[in-house]
Homo-oligomer: A and B are copies of this chain.
Amino acid sequence: MAGSRSVVDRDKQAQSNFDVDYVIHYSIPPKGSAEAEASFAQLITALSAVGFATEVRPGRLHRRHQGPSASSSPPSSLLVFVKLASDRLLTSQIYRARVQDWLYGVRPAAPAANPADDGSNEPVTQAERLRLAYMLITRPRNEGGAGVTPRRGQWRFVQSVFPLHDRAFNREWIGEWSRKYYLDDGDIDRIRDRFGERVAFYFAFLKSYFAFLLFPAAFGFAAWLVLGPFSWLYAVVNCLWSVVFFEHWKMKEVDLAVQWGVRGVSRIQHPRSQFRFEREAVDPVTGEIVKVYSPVKRLATQLLQVPFAAACVVALGGLIAGCFAIEIFITEVYNGPFKQYLTFLPTVLLTIFNPTLTTLLTRLAEKLTELENYETHDAHQASFVRKIFVINFITSYLGVFLTAFVYVPFGKLLVPYLDVFQLTAQRFTADGKPVPTKSWQIDPNRLTKQVIYFTVTAQIVNFATEVIVPYAKRKLFKRVEKVQSDLSEKTAVHTKDSPEEAEFLERVRDEAELDEYDVTIDYREMVIQFGYLSLFSVVWPLTACSFLVNNWVEARSDAMKIAANCQRPIPWRADSIGPWLGALGFLSWLGSLTSAALVFLFHSNSSISGSSGKTGGPDGSPWDIRAWALLLAILFAEHVYLVVQLVVRGLVRQLDSPGLQKERAERFAMRKRLLDRMAERGVSAEPAAGPGVGGGAEEEKITREALEEEARRLSVSGEGRPEQLFWLRQRSADETIQVGRALIAETTSSNQTGSRK
């Protein structure tokens, strides 16, 4: 009995996080230990001053120094474990945060006066606890936090601050998701409870997007069978779908935010600790001292975005266009020696330079955003996302744009200029003879091939680089490590840790080495994917089918990534998918333009080639088409799109949703409570005692003349102001009624007299 319990205990213990809220990974510098020690002492003091319990353990052992004795092998870092020391602290933090929410209009009602009551009414999720603990660690000291800012200033030895994965939950989560076809709301809610709303919003978006993909996948498959490519019907349906999806998501987003109680949470801005201020000034309104950075300066820096975008276009565009030109030259014009090797040249060039350039530009974007010096995280993030969207837009779509709108229509005009390459090639050949070429034809299938490449092959490659490679790398690395440590000494690690904790500490050391999870990357991937669907799927209607399969895997692999390949994310809140929403809207709109143009340029060709039985298609010269008709088609498509968007928006807005219902219910409850309180105070709308409707019994028979006489008498005797006298003529409602009735009767009788006359 005792034995079995201890086995269970041991099992549980292996899973347990020992109530740790956060682990602070503290690196020990090879030199300057005095500073590191002092800083460490400050760290612990600061943490315990705001109410954290702390424990320190050695981090991973040095590998480079494998002495004979394991016990003298020192750690290269420390792991500081912190937890909120008392429930009272947690409760007060929760109350504080909820009051702030209420003040910013995130919660409809103030939290209960007694925080303890409130906590019991509204469950405290892991995400909330962890978020508050993180805020307490990182908030500046004058706002009641410990002010720990990893990797900066005083805290430059703090490598990272991360919560620990809940292994049991993760295992169950991944297991469950890999078994089920559809995710349901419960799945998303569970993610929200663990990883916070920001991550949950990503999965909710993925879920919504996946469900919406079912339609274009089915319709696309049918269109592929029946209509073929470049069908205007498919283009219209696809655009309509993208509008509906976009508008639906905008509503769904609000709905989820309300359901999760985070609507308007983006109003609560987290100040960036990196913000550099020029001067401190007294806010004229609040009298607080605020840090000021000249908006003119920021605007000037923001204008750098224009040359940045130009640089992106030139660098990436030049690379892509250059490789494109080389590729065409080699595959379609060139016919000289080494052709089979030279075919790979553009691919090699792209593979080498594209990631390099992208990384370079991304780093430039980071720098630029840093320079823009935003005060809040959200503004910083939004600006950064804009920049990487530009980069990704070019790398992802420019190739297809070139094929569709330059190569096919203008190929015949442009290819002669590729002689440049021929001349270059001539230089390198010894004899200086012209390089042999073959007569050239535009390859109309290139567009389709390219779209298929981007929508199928690239997605698979992406999945591999995102999930399989890091996993394999880690496994390999671990094996190497293990072999190494086996070589040096079998029990090197374990002698230092007490046996109860050994397993746990090993796990924590592993997690400390993982990357931080960045939801931006996942959003980017999905948005770019949506772009292919919206912009180019008319070329290959099966696009959505491919994405449907891909996204089923994507949801699981992203879950895997969070659970196994990354540190547990800080559970931030969010009330939308943020700046990506704008990118989605932009792509959906652009889709109306490109779809119209593609259908217009290629439709007649493909249908002609279809009827003539050729699979290849046209002869590559669709340029009998008049430019004005193309422009008219685009103009028309765009405005139809905009009108449809307005209509769909109007319709979607009229729909009810659980979130809106919840909001109504909350507002109603609050209103009722408040009005009840008002009623208690006796200031409700009970009529004040005006000149009442007198009872019938004490009614005194009055005549109009008598009353007027009285008023006249009062006025003559000088009593009362005229205003008073005016209101004294008829002393009660009954008198007014009597006078009125008399007047009506008079009118009627005189009418009758008149008509009798």
Is chain A's interface secondary structure helix, strand, loop, or mixed overall?
Answer: helix
Tell me whether A744 and B33 are in contact in the complex, defined as CB-CB below 8 angstroms, given that A498-B712, A690-B86 are known contacts. Answer: yes
Instruction: List, in ascending order, chain B residues with CB within 8 A of A736's CB.
Output: 44, 48, 54-56, 80
- Cβ of A75 under 8 Å from chain B: yes
> Which residues of A, 668-702, contact B by the 8 Å Cβ criterion?
668, 670-671, 674-675, 678, 681, 683-693
> Which residues of A, 1-58, contact B by the 8 Å Cβ criterion?
9, 13, 16, 18-20, 26, 28, 30-31, 33, 36-37, 40-41, 44-45, 47-56, 58
Whether the pair A747, B76 counts as a contact (CB closer than 8 A) is yes
Taken together as a complex, chains A and B put the C-alpha atoms of A565 and B58 apart, in Å, by: 88
Instruction: List, in ascending order, chain B residues with CB within 8 A of A272's CB.
Output: none
Taken together as a complex, chains A and B put the C-alpha atoms of A675 and B665 apart, in Å, by: 27
Tell me whether A723 and B688 are in contact in the complex, defined as CB-CB below 8 angstroms, given that A295-B654, A628-B628 are known contacts. Answer: no
- Cβ of A491 under 8 Å from chain B: no
Instruction: List, in ascending order, chain B residues with CB within 8 A of A750's CB.
Output: 62, 65, 67, 72-74
Q: How far does the Cβ of A736 sit from chain B's closest Cβ, in whole Å?
A: 4
Q: How far does the Cβ of A233 sit from chain B's closest Cβ, in whole Å?
A: 23
Nearest B residue to A715 via CB reads B500
Tell me whether A99 and B751 are in contact in the complex, defined as CB-CB below 8 angstroms, given that A37-B744, A634-B635, A664-B285 are known contacts. Answer: no
Q: How far does the Cβ of A290 sit from chain B's closest Cβ, in whole Å?
A: 11
Instruction: List, in ascending order, chain B residues with CB within 8 A of A95's CB.
Output: 678, 683
- Cβ of A557 under 8 Å from chain B: no
Contact with A78, one of B51, B678, B740 (Cβ below 8 angstroms):
B740
Contact with A28, one of B65, B96, B748 (Cβ below 8 angstroms):
B748
Whether the pair A55, B726 counts as a contact (CB closer than 8 A) is yes
| 21 pairs from A and B in contact (CB 8 Å cutoff) | A16-B723, A18-B727, A28-B743, A44-B733, A44-B736, A50-B687, A51-B688, A51-B690, A54-B691, A55-B726, A56-B743, A62-B747, A62-B750, A74-B743, A96-B678, A103-B667, A103-B671, A284-B661, A285-B668, A498-B712, A627-B628
Nearest B residue to A302 via CB reads B650
- Cβ of A89 under 8 Å from chain B: yes
What is the oligomeric copy number?
Answer: 2
Contact with A689, one of B83, B86, B664 (Cβ below 8 angstroms):
B86
- Cβ of A425 under 8 Å from chain B: no
Q: How far does the Cβ of A679 sit from chain B's closest Cβ, in whole Å?
A: 11
Q: How far does the Cβ of A709 sit from chain B's closest Cβ, in whole Å?
A: 10
Instruction: List, in ascending order, chain B residues with CB within 8 A of A75's CB.
Output: 743, 747
Whether the pair A44, B665 counts as a contact (CB closer than 8 A) is no
Contact with A286, one of B33, B286, B665 (Cβ below 8 angstroms):
B665
Whether the pair B687, A89 counts as a contact (CB closer than 8 A) is yes
Tell me whether A751 and B30 are in contact in the complex, defined as CB-CB below 8 angstroms, given that A58-B743, A628-B627, A664-B285 are known contacts. Answer: yes
Whether the pair A92, B683 counts as a contact (CB closer than 8 A) is yes
Contact with A144, one of B80, B685, B725 (Cβ below 8 angstroms):
B685
Taken together as a complex, chains A and B put the C-alpha atoms of A115 and B40 apart, in Å, by: 57
Other A-B contacts than A31-B751, A65-B750, A631-B632, 10 sampled, CB-CB below 8 A, are A18-B727, A45-B693, A56-B743, A65-B751, A96-B683, A96-B684, A96-B685, A286-B665, A288-B668, A501-B726
Taken together as a complex, chains A and B put the C-alpha atoms of A627 and B632 apart, in Å, by: 9
Contact with A661, one of B33, B285, B747 (Cβ below 8 angstroms):
B285
Whether the pair B722, A690 counts as a contact (CB closer than 8 A) is no
Taken together as a complex, chains A and B put the C-alpha atoms of A341 and B151 apart, in Å, by: 90
Whether the pair B740, A80 counts as a contact (CB closer than 8 A) is yes
Taken together as a complex, chains A and B put the C-alpha atoms of A314 and B708 apart, in Å, by: 63
In the A-B complex, the 10 residue pairs with the smallest Cβ-Cβ separation, listed nearest first, are A85-B690, A33-B748, A89-B688, A628-B628, A48-B733, A631-B631, A627-B628, A74-B747, A144-B685, A285-B665
- Cβ of A373 under 8 Å from chain B: no
Instruction: List, in ascending order, chain B residues with CB within 8 A of A747's CB.
Output: 28, 33, 62, 74-76
- Cβ of A170 under 8 Å from chain B: no
Whether the pair A113, B681 counts as a contact (CB closer than 8 A) is yes
Taken together as a complex, chains A and B put the C-alpha atoms of A283 and B55 apart, in Å, by: 54
- Cβ of A521 under 8 Å from chain B: no
Taken together as a complex, chains A and B put the C-alpha atoms of A286 and B627 apart, in Å, by: 59
